[in-house]
Structure 1
Amino acid sequence: MTYDLITLELTGMAHGGSAIGRHEGRAIFVPYGIPGEQVSVRIVQDKGRFAIAEVVEVLVSSPDRVQAPCPYFGEGHCGGCQFQSIDYPKQLVLKQQTVRDQLARLGGLPDVTVQPTIPNPTPYGYRSHATFHVAPDGHLGFIKTDHRNVLPVDDCLLLSPTLHDSFEAARDQHFTPGARIRFQSGTDEQPIHFPMGNLADDVAEPLVDKPSHKDNRRNRLPPEPKFSDTLSGEVVHYTIKNRTFRCSAGSFFQVNLPQAEKLVDIILERLNLQGTEKLLDLYSGVGLFTAFLATSAKKVSAVELFAPAVDDAQINLDDLTNVELYLGKIESILPRLSDHYDAAIVDPPRSGMDAPALEALIQLQPQQIVYVSCDPATLARDAKRLTAAGYILANVQPVDMFPQTYHIECVAHFIH
């Protein structure tokens, strides 16, 4: 079915990066539109209560519209970036508005203070790792906007200089079609790259909930998975605030190193530690936040599910005597902890905190929770539960970890 052209006034930006207009009472989502523009669009997906449309012509252009520098940007091309055609200062404003909107609509929190978005030092060249998909011709690329097919690419403007050099060296190689290959670069060292599919096999066995202690390392963890199918290297090292962190293939580390430092600063500022506090660090990864919390607190108990990341943390935190590492699910470990914790730091994946993990945290009732989120929708969902449990959301600080995309990192400060 072919739809007629519709003229729309775009009035807002949805979480996901599409501008919003209304036609005959229903919302029309328009990728690559900018609020304030008048556009001629054609509906490409009719969802009943709403529709998705493509821009046929920009009738009245926004003063914030710029020429996208990437040849792969736009409808039908690479699906990685949504905002390259929007001037960077405007991107920051739109992200702040998106966070505010999600908290109001999904969290029932319309009056929360959402600070202006902290900009990235540079709007391009910031990614320290990236996942490439292999096209049918064996070349590396990214998923297209249709969410199905792979677009082979010769360049990506978001890659850090080191990661860009690694991709350039591998660009003309032929890989297994359909595979996913992760490129990960550290600070001033050779990047590693490894197939993502094999990682799932490596961590398929259930992990045992077991606290780790530095005087009992031999019995602390199951054997570390061996990434025998890594294409290049096994670990990288990141330097954050003059401290070096080892990160194995598959372990999580923030994609944007300068902004990772900002996250550390914000967390410490919110907690205002006096040296007497006992802290929880949940989804603790390789120990990034734990390392800086431990120098200002009495004790930090860190919980992480991915065994190689805990092994990395054991090395990264070896000089700190007030840290306990726990391997396993949050909801299994927290009920076994006997300490009263003054504050908790949580940094869950995009899906937010699992309900059992969130309930286990609420049961401990720490006075403060600092929630680091990479998805304002799941942050809003979890904020609704936390406020129902007696917490006040004092403020939210957006941090632009992902320029040119709709993604936004937030640091939310809850007080009981």
Structure 2
Amino acid sequence: MGINKIIMNDTLRQNDSEKEYAILRLGRITRLGDCEAVLGKENIRIFGGIPGELVKARIYRYRKNKENVISGIVDQIIEPSPYRIVAECIYFGSCSGCQWQYIDYRYQLELKKQIILDAFQAYEFLKNTNINNVIASKKEFNYRNHARFSVRFEGQIGFSNRITRRFIKVDECLIMDDKINKTVSLLQNKVSETTSMSVRVGVNTDNILIQPKLTNSNIVIDTGQKFYTEKFYGKEFRIASPSFFQVNIAQAEKMVEIIKSSLNLSGSETLVDAYSGVGTFAISLASSVGKVIAIEESASAINDAEFAIGDIDNIEFILGKTENMLSSISDDIDILILDPSRKGCHPDTIEVVLEKSPKKIVYVSCDPVTLARDLNMLLSEGYSITYVQPLDMFPQTYHVEVIVIMDR
């Protein structure tokens, strides 16, 4: 039985008589972490494989967005890759939270770099870009400080598979911080009053946030906290329930170090931190520059940032969307940090960036495809890339974080 023995039987609920299999040689990794393959005259994607493997795959044909789609899932490994290992998690295959636990960690890093290279190859300005090797996470497991659980069947805590939508009860998640797993063990089968639950923990503190507030008298821990605290880069941050915070603290601190060392700061610069969140970059870099202006659309995140500022007196926060507020800054911008969501920068943001013409741009991205799209627009208007450093914020998954430094 293959890597996805549970997923395979449920994905599209095909009858046995409708099942289709094919022997395929797997090609390059794709941006979504699966492998390219050729079935007849069709280029398809196969989940659960490693480039170069010969596999027997279960083939699925279906309609999506009014188009015919063909994809597959590995059912049997005929010629395994030397990088294939046994997944440590007992839920791997039925839970879809991790995609790559069956791949040796060092090779995961190589594949993530390849995903970035492939994204850059789509644009002439980026084809010859030098990309450093991906910096490994200090922890391959137990690195996440935030989990969103589904709750089903009279209080069972777990996850819903993204492909099948089937619920999987989980007593321990190997990529979650130990404090999250201990919380799950205390609440398992006791939270039937809700259909979902969020647990966030301070890796460097004893703080925990559990939402929603639970009323079961058998629950022996506090729930319903409005915020938790975390120590990050020498500062104490408060993170409210709606606010975004990086899930891998050690790697996020490494990002600050990389940005700081790459910019050769003199101490007099004006730095604009767009999409600033709770201010991890703005606050961590404030002592190294003359002035920081941070833009954030979440009022909750700005409130959290103001808690962490303390006696820092050279930071100004602006509430609003970057594409709307960046143009209001009258200062000459020496350094602009762009750290948008996975969808990348709004087109209006790129337009204003080019108008403002900051001396240096730091682009932090969790999606190589949207990163490449935005970089191409900036490079076509005179910017040059001086440094590209990927980091693995999300071991056991295909996701990768990338820092790009640009100047004129």
Q: Shared fold (TM-score greater than 0.5)?
A: yes
Whether contact under 8 Å (1:166, 1:191) holds in the other structure is no
* 2:207–2:229 CA contact under 8 A, matched in 1: no
- SS for the counterpart of 1:39 is strand
Residue number in structure 1 paired with 2:248: 256
Which whole-Å CA distance do the structure 1 matches of 2:351 and 2:153 have between them?
A: 45
- Of the three residues 150, 167, 182, the one matched with 2:167 is 150
Give the Cα–Cα distance (whole angstroms) in 2 for the partners of residues 261 and 148 of structure 1: 35
Distance in 2, Cα, partners of 1:271 & 1:175: 51
Query: Aligned partners of 2:386 and 2:392: how far apart in 1?
Result: 20
Structure 1 segments unaligned to the other structure (5+ residues): 197-229
Question: 5 Å matches for 1:137-176?
Answer: 137-146=154-163, 148-176=165-193
**TM-score after normalising by structure 2:** 0.88
> What SS class does the counterpart of residue 274 from structure 1 fall into?
coil
In the TM superposition, what is the alpha-carbon distance from 1:374 to its structure 2 partner? 1.1
Match of 2:406 in 1: 414
Residue number in structure 2 paired with 1:128: 145
Pairwise CA distance, 1:55: 1.5
- Counting only pairs closer than 5 Å after superposition, residues 16-55 of structure 1 correspond to structure 2 as 16-45=32-61, 51-55=70-74
Sequence identity percentage: 36
2: CA distance between counterparts of 1:165 and 1:159?
A: 10
Question: Which among 109, 118, 129 is matched to residue 112 of structure 1?
Answer: 129
Q: Give the AA of the match of 2:73.
A: E
What SS is found at the alignment partner of 1:105? Answer: coil
Aligned length: 380
Q: CA deviation at 1:91?
A: 0.4
Matched residues in 2 for 1:257 and 1:131: separation?
A: 18
- Secondary structure at the counterpart of residue 342 of structure 2: coil
For residue 12 of structure 1, give the secondary structure of its aligned residue in structure 2.
coil
> Equivalent residue for 1:368?
360
Alignment deviations for residues 103-130 of structure 1 (CA, whole Å, 9 cap, x no partner): 2126862211111110011210000111
CA distance in 2, matches of 1:329, 1:36: 44
Structure 1 counterpart of 2:113: 96
Gaps (5+ residues) in structure 2?
1-16, 214-221
Cα separation, 2, equivalents of 1:20 and 1:170? 41
Q: Report SS of the residue matched to 2:388.
A: strand
The equivalent of 1:405 in structure 2 is 397
| Alpha-carbon distance change, 30 to 264 in structure 1, aligned in 2, over 3 angstroms | same
Residue 155 of structure 2 contacts residue 189 of structure 2 at CA under 8 Å; is this kept in 1? Answer: no
Task: After TM superposition, give the deviation of residue 285 of structure 1 in Å.
Answer: 1.1
Q: Using a 3 Å threshold, how does the CA distance of structure 1 residues 408 and 347 change in structure 2: closer, same or farther?
A: same
**1:106 touches 1:377 (CA, 8 Å); kept in 2?**
no
What CA deviation, in whole Å up to 9, does each residue of 1:236-293 have, x standing for no partner?
A: 1111232221111111111001101111011112211111210100111111111122
Deviation at 1:180, TM superposition (A): 3.2
Alignment match, 2:201: 185
The reply to whether residue 2 of structure 1 matches residue 18 of structure 2 is: yes
Spell out the pairing of 1:220-231 with structure 2 (5 A cutoff): 231=223
Q: 2:84 aligns with which of 65, 85, 88?
A: 65
Q: Secondary structure of 1:397's partner?
A: strand
The alignment partner of 2:307 has SS state of: helix
Moved more, 370-379 or 24-33: 24-33
1:57 Cα deviation (Å)?
Answer: 1.3
Rounded to whole Å, the distance in 2 between the matches of 1:103 and 1:331 is 24
Per-residue CA deviation, residues 177-202 of structure 1 (Å, 9 max, x unaligned), is 6x332211012213112249xxxxxx
Calculate the aligned-residue CA RMSD, in Å: 2.0
How far 1:312 sits from its partner (Å)? 1.0
- For residue 118 of structure 1, give the secondary structure of its aligned residue in structure 2: coil
Give the distance between the partners of 1:124 and 1:106, measured in 2 at CA: 35
Query: Is the CA contact 2:125–2:379 (under 8 Å) kept in the aligned structure 1?
Result: no
CA distance in 2, matches of 1:336, 1:300: 15
**Offset from partner CA, 1:122-157 (integer Å, 9 cap, x none):** 210000111112235432211214253322211100
1:56 is aligned to: 75
Match of 1:13 in 2: 29
User: Deviations 1:306-335 (Å, cap 9, x if unpaired)?
Assistant: 001101111211211111111111122222
Q: What is the aligned partner in structure 2 of residue 215 from structure 1?
A: none
2:404 alignment partner AA: A
